[in-house]
Amino acid sequence: MRFSAPLTPAQAELLGEDVGMIAALAAQALNHVHGVDVERLVKAFTSSNALDVTAVRYLKYLEDGLPRGEAAGRAATALMHDWADAVLNVSSRGDHA
C-alpha cells in the first residue's frame, strides 16, 4: 500500500501496525542478541517520540521506493542505533538509564 498525505483511516491503521511491528522486532532483536531487558526496550521504543521518528523514517524509506520489508528493516536499525547512542551518552555522563 502506498501512503499519501493526509493518510486515509486504512493507511493510518496500516502505518500504526507497521511501526508497532518495527518497534517490537527491534526490541526482540536487542533482547535476543544482547540480553537487554525487553520491557525496558519496549518502553523506550514505544514512547511518543520514538514512534513518531520511526514512522517518519519508515515513510521516507517507502517514499524512496524501498519495499515495505526493507523500509521496516532500515527504520528498525535506525531505532536501535538511536537507543544505543542514548545509552552510551548516559553512560559517558555517569548517569544510570
Structure confidence by residue, pLDDT tens digits, 72-96:
999 999 999 999 999 898 888 876 5
Percent of the chain with pLDDT strictly greater than 90: 80
Q: Is residue 63 part of a domain?
A: yes
- Residues spanned by the domain of 70: 37-97
pLDDT at position 76 is 96
Q: Is residue 8 part of a domain?
A: no
pTM: 0.85
For residue 48, name the pLDDT band (cuts at 50, 70, 90): very high
Total tally of structural domains belonging to the chain: 1
What number is the average pLDDT over the span 12-22?
95
C-alpha grid cell, residue 64: 524512496
Burial class, 46, CB count within 10 angstroms (exposed 0-12 / middle 13-18 / buried 19+): middle
What number is the average pLDDT over the span 41-53?
94
Long-range contacts of 67-73 (CB under 8 A, 24+ apart): 68/18, 72/18, 72/21, 72/22, 72/25
